[in-house]
């Protein structure tokens, strides 16, 4: 079984404390060993006991306290990084964190010889302003939370989702082919369309328009974002509540490639 030695783990605290204390004890015995031949049996026993207990009590306590504080600091830094990268309303990534993670993935794939594929979806809530106007901003916030939950419910563990605008979400699907990407997009659209959203007992159907593009080979976040945003515009122009997906990749965007 592998011990967790990450900065936030108790395994690291215990391992460093034990190793450091053992080192202190070894140093104490080594330094004092030059006097051992001249000591009586009783004095030798006391010296060895001192060489053992003093580093154990003082060094062990100091190391444990130090590592415990370092662990607390690591946990605080981790929590702060999570808060800084998360949209406070929907609990998905914010725009900055989303774009940074996607670009980091794409940059990594550009350095590798093997061909990588994937897709980017942009999901926009239809007629969201009217929801705020008719039901209030609190209901609009609840609608965004429901939409975010529905999106996350259709994704795999390695997929990335973020809120990239007021009522706009981005989904990055690494390692998927165009047909599977369209299936994911359509499942998100249907799931949101089928949700029961009735603020104050008044039915308020939700729907989204989704634009998407696939890629196969080197690309950048900006390139696939522009291509997906173009498809989103097509979905909204054609009546909303639909998926417009370009299966040919970000670099080739013929209008005839739109899939509804």
Catalytic site includes residue 167? yes
Q: Distance between CA 216 and CA 176 in Å, rounded?
A: 10
Q: Which two tokens stand for residue 139?
A: 């209901």
Catalytic residue (one of 167, 168, 186, 223): 167
Q: Distance between CA 94 and CA 98 in Å, rounded?
A: 6
Question: What separation in angstroms does the CA of 98 have from each of 163, 170, 171, 220, 251?
Answer: 8, 8, 9, 14, 21
Catalytic site residues? 167
């Amino acid at each position: 079984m592998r011990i967790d030695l990450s900065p936030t783990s108790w395994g690291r605290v215990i391992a460093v404390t034990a190793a450091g204390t053992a080192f202190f004890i070894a140093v104490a015995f080594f330094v004092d060993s030059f006097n051992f031949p001249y000591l009586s049996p009783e004095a030798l026993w006391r010296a060895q006991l001192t060489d053992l207990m003093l580093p154990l009590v003082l060094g062990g306590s100091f190391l444990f306290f130090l590592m415990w504080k370092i662990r607390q600091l690591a946990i605080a830094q981790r929590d702060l990084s999570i808060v800084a990268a998360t949209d406070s309303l929907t609990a998905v990534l914010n725009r900055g964190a989303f774009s940074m993670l996607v670009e980091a993935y794409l940059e990594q794939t550009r350095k590798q010889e093997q061909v990588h594929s994937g897709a980017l979806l942009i999901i926009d809530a239809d007629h969201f302003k009217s929801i705020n106007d008719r039901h209030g901003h609190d209901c609009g916030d609840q609608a965004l939370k429901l939409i975010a939950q529905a999106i996350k419910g259709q994704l795999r563990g390695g997929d990335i989702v973020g809120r990239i605008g007021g009522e706009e979400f981005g989904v990055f699907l690494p390692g998927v082919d165009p047909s599977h990407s369209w299936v994911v997009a359509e499942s998100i659209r249907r799931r949101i369309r089928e949700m029961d959203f009735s603020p104050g007992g008044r039915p308020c159907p939700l729907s989204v328009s989704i634009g998407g593009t696939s890629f196969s080979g080197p690309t950048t976040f900006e390139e696939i974002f522009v291509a997906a945003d173009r498809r989103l515009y097509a979905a909204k122009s054609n009546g909303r509540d639909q998926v417009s997906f370009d299966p040919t990749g970000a670099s080739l965007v013929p209008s005839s490639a739109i899939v509804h």
